[in-house]
Amino acid sequence: MTCNIVVSYYNNQNFIKLLNVFEEKFLHSHVAIIYNKSEEELKNNFMQIKLDNIGREGETYLNHIIQNYDNLSEYTIFIQDDTNNHLPDYDKFIRFCDNVITQKKKFALYPAYWKQNGSVVKRRIIDGIFDLHTFPSKNAIKLCCQEHNIYLPKEYTTETCAFFICHKSSILIHDKEFYINLRSWLLSNISNGFVLEHVWKLIFSDANLIPLKR
């Protein structure tokens, strides 16, 4: 079993502590890839790839999928750099990921904390409508799903902050062009990054195997 840990890094190095714990517990079965969107090179032994600082963590995740579409690891763990805000318990997060792999689940969003010393935030979306001040419009989720032919249930609940683990079969539900188009959409409006955070659960759902009418 192969597993990549994809890190979207800009200015917070707390995630290195998490990677060290992963390395200690799993030795070489988990390979970390740091996508560096800062202006300086990190001093550590993990793989680093330089990226332009655009599109928030969503662009990092999509870039990884696009560039590795034909050579994905069996599982990929996607994380942001500010783990101190979102993951108060690193061991708990690692157990969560290990459980997903052990039980051969296809996708799972981690119930991350919204901010340090805060609490877990989950949001209930009905008909693709959610009124959030960071969204370009309250029907932004619905419009995103319509534009990219993503299955939208009548109602769903999603975790926030975009820490998740995904089996490659769930990524390959969509063709490479889907992710290229999604990245273009993401970069067309800075607010779309906040929308995408609420759509990951839908993107990797098996419901997308059902042919949808455009």
pTM of the prediction? 0.94
SS (H, E, C) 131-155: CCCCCCCCCHHHHHHHHHCCCCCCE
Tens-digit pLDDT profile for residues 185-204: 999 999 999 999 999 999 99
Q: What is the C-alpha to C-alpha distance for residues 214 and 211, in angstroms, rounded to an integer?
A: 9
Considering only CA atoms, which of 147, 130, 148 is closest in space to residue 139? 130
Tens-digit pLDDT profile for residues 46-57: 999 999 999 999
Tens-digit pLDDT profile for residues 96-112: 999 999 999 999 999 99
Sign of CA dihedral 134, 117, 158, 127: negative
Say whether 213 sits in a helix, a strand or coil: coil
157 by Cβ neighbours in 10 Å (0-12 / 13-18 / 19+) ranks as exposed
Mean pLDDT across 133-156? 97
Residue 25 has pLDDT above 80, yes or no: no
Considering only CA atoms, which of 201, 192, 183 is closest in space to residue 78? 201
Q: Which helix (H) or strand (E) holds 102?
A: helix 90-102
